[in-house]
A and B are shown apart, each in its own frame.
Chain A
């Protein structure tokens, strides 16, 4: 406990030191404020423009969450098909890797052409970012079940549905969470970069990415910093939310999620 307190105190000290360094650089080199605002200005901008930041944050969070959840649901469905049929898997699995390697920004113009700029397009970008790692990990989980366990179920005349529900699905849960963890980081990045290209300027539709473009055009660098801060916080929130659900679902039985527990 004492060690932990010292660690937290040290982390805080490092943080304060970096703020100080930042401030000093501005003083020493007299950097103009549109190039680099002071920490205080960023804090002030965060407070005064809190309503704007919050609404942008909520829009981006919504796009990221819907895209991620769609990626999880559809990813699981595709993984189920892949697990069911080795033939389909061999045929289509390479394309899911292609989905991961395609530079999504290059495809964004197409997406805008198809669905028009706005929340829909950005959500679609997030979905494409997320779905591949869900498919890959869940498929791995579904097909890597110990052969003896399958035989055990067969010995008791289990139906394919029972084997899926009571064996393959629970077995693949830790794998699924690995996929979701990767995707949760990508979801926020995908939403913000998506907005940079496909964001809409309509009122109530501009998320963090759009606001960043706006702040840059207006040379409101302090506001831009505040937005970046908000984006970072959003990424953290997503990651920890996923970690929490993972802990909730797995901590009782799975080694990976049982960190800090004895026995």
Chain B
């Protein structure tokens, strides 16, 4: 039997002992290589779920494990991509990407070569010496992703990373993310508000219902990878978007 990459076992989360639960009875097993997107109305605990997997928050009841370890111990395997690019404005693009490696105490030579190849990968070598304020929103997000990939994570936790981008940029970033995944095959746990984005990226979509946050639907997205811009034009894609939207609406109504 293989160890699940991420396992939520009957997880309940309260922010205070007497408070109503934010998440209740979450049971979710994610296998290595899956791209799982969590979608649901505001306040259903999507981000909290990610924080639990990152070990940035602890559950009140139940258990979370990452690759068989506690999330805290598994941090070396995990990278978190935040909603905003969260770059350090006083560091150049290059130095921002190098941050995680620096904190891990890698050698200068290793850091330099890894940073360089990552910037090549996200096509930002030409702005390596620029500061974040000189970049567009999409470029900042690419730097943020490059930084997350620097430590060679097995698991990526992404909290609405493209929410602040315009639709065209967002679509392009989606395609780019899948392209990177072809090369590096990480497991992804992704949070978004956009059904189209969720369908395009994921192998599996989890719809959360609110008050308390619980799993309402678990949908397999059987579109073939690699997915490209053309995937969005297919009938199968449309059908899946429609179906997911309908289920999401029903969740809202409850």
Contacts and interface: CB of A to CB of B under 8 A. Distances in A.
Interface of A: 146, 148-149, 151-158, 162, 166-167, 170-171, 173, 252-255, 258, 263
A255 B134 CA distance: 10
Contacts of B134: 263
Given A151-B56, A151-B80, A156 B90 contact: no
A146 B86 contact: yes
B100 interface: yes
B137 to A, nearest CB: 15
B104 interface: yes
Given A148-B86, A151-B56, A253-B131, A157 B103 contact: yes
Which 10 pairs show the lowest CB-CB distances between chains A and B? A156-B103, A148-B82, A253-B131, A253-B90, A170-B90, A148-B86, A156-B100, A158-B103, A253-B89, A263-B134
Chain A CB within 10 Å — which of B80, B90, B151 has the most?
B90
Interface size class of B (residues with CB under 8 A): 20 to 34
A113 B233 CA distance: 85
Given A154-B56, A155-B79, A171-B90, 13 more contacts: A148-B82, A148-B84, A151-B80, A153-B103, A157-B104, A166-B103, A173-B90, A252-B131, A253-B89, A254-B133, A255-B133, A258-B133, A263-B134
Interface in B77-96: 78-80, 82-84, 86, 88-91
Contacts of B133: 253-255, 258
B75 A156 contact: yes
B75 A152 contact: no
Contacts of B54: 151, 155
Contacts of B89: 253-254
Interface string B109-140: 00000000000000000000001111000000
Nearest to B131: A253
Nearest to B86: A148
B98 to A, nearest CB: 11
B69 to A, nearest CB: 14
A155 B86 contact: no
8 contacts: A146-B84, A149-B86, A151-B80, A152-B80, A154-B56, A155-B78, A155-B80, A166-B103
Chain B CB within 10 Å — which of A156, A158, A166, A263 has the most?
A156
Contacts of A154: 56
Nearest to A158: B103
B213 to A, nearest CB: 20
Nearest to B132: A253
Nearest to A149: B86
Contacts of B91: 253
Contact of B88 (A149, A156, A157, A162): A149
A155 B90 contact: no
B210 to A, nearest CB: 23
A146 B54 CA distance: 18
Nearest to B102: A166
A253 B104 CA distance: 25
Nearest to B147: A152
Contacts of A255: 133
